C-alpha cells in the first residue's frame, strides 16, 4: 500500500513507527481515563464511565478519508490531516457525565486540547450526537518526544447504541441510504434524546430523594449528650 511506503520528513520513518506512536497514545490516554474514573469513584462513590473502547483506524479507512479530502495517500498527509487515526470512545450513563468527563480531561496538564466539537448541543443533520475532543499527548521515546493526536468521543449508552446502528445501516448502503431510512434514523435520534433526558431527570429525582432521606434520618438521631 502506498501509505505504508511513504516517509514523513519529521523523523517518523515507517508505517510501523507511526502505528506504534498511535497505540502508545491510546495507552496513555486510556490510563488517564481509568485513573480519573477511579478517583471519581473514591471521592463521590460513583462511576461516570460505563465503559471505554479504543481503536486504530484501518489503512483502508485512512486512504479513503485522504482521497475524500483530496490528499495523496502518504504518511505525512495522514499525520497532518487525519485526526481520528487513534480513537477512544467513552460511554457514560447520563448526559451530565459527558460534560463532567470533558471538564476533567481538559484539566490534565500533560494533555493538550486542540479542538472540541459538541454534537450534543449541535447535532449533525443525520441526528448524530456525541461530544468530540481532539487532544495531543506527548509520547516519550528514547531520543525524542512526539506529540500524538487522539480523538476522544464521549456519549451516553443510548447515543452509542444509535450511532453504532446508524453506522451499520449506512455501511450496507455505502453511504447512500434511501430517504425514508434517513428520516426514520432522525426520528430514532429524537427518541434517544428524549430517553436520555428522562433518565437524567429520573436520576436527579433519585438523588434528591436519597438526600432527603439522609436529612430526615439525621434529624431523628438523638443529639450528643441527650438523656434517656
Q: Which helix (H) or strand (E) holds 92?
A: strand 86-92
Residues with catalytic roles: 151
Degrees, nearest 5: CA angle 139-156-52: 35
Considering Cα of 161, then 162, then 163, then 165, what sign does the dihedral take?
positive
**Residue linked to cell 483506524:** 57
Query: Rounded to whole angstroms, how far apart are CA atoms 95 and 206?
Result: 16
Query: Rounded to whole angstroms, how far apart are CA atoms 68 and 90?
Result: 27
Amino acid at each position: 500500500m502506498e501509505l505504508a511506503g511513504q516517509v514523513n520528513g519529521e523523523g517518523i520513518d515507517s508505517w510501523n513507527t507511526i502505528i506504534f506512536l498511535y497505540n502508545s497514545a491510546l495507552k496513555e490516554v486510556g490510563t488517564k481515563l481509568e485513573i480519573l474514573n477511579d478517583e471519581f469513584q473514591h471521592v463521590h462513590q460513583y462511576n461516570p464511565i460505563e465503559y471505554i473502547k479504543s481503536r486504530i483506524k484501518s489503512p483502508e479507512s485512512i486512504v479513503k478519508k485522504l482521497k475524500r479530502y483530496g490528499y495523496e495517500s502518504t504518511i505525512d498527509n495522514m499525520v497532518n490531516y487525519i485526526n481520528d487515526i487513534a480513537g477512544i470512545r467513552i460511554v457514560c450513563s447520563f448526559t451530565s457525565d459527558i460534560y463532567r468527563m470533558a471538564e476533567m480531561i481538559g484539566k490534565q496538564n500533560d494533555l493538550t486540547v486542540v479542538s472540541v466539537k459538541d454534537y450534543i448541543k449541535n447535532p449533525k443533520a443525520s441526528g448524530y450526537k456525541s461530544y468530540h475532543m481532539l487532544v495531543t499527548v506527548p509520547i516519550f521515546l528514547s531520543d525524542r518526544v512526539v506529540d500524538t493526536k487522539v480523538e476522544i468521543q464521549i456519549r451516553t449508552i443510548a447515543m452509542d447504541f444509535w450511532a453504532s446502528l446508524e453506522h451499520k445501516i449506512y455501511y450496507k448502503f455505502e453511504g447512500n441510504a434511501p430517504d425514508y431510512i434517513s428520516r426514520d434514523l432522525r426520528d430514532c435520534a429524537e427518541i434517544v434524546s428524549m430517553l436520555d433526558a428522562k433518565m437524567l431527570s429520573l436520576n436527579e429525582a433519585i438523588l434528591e430523594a436519597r438526600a432527603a432521606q439522609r436529612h430526615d434520618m439525621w434529624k431523628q438521631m438523638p443529639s450528643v449528650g441527650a438523656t434517656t
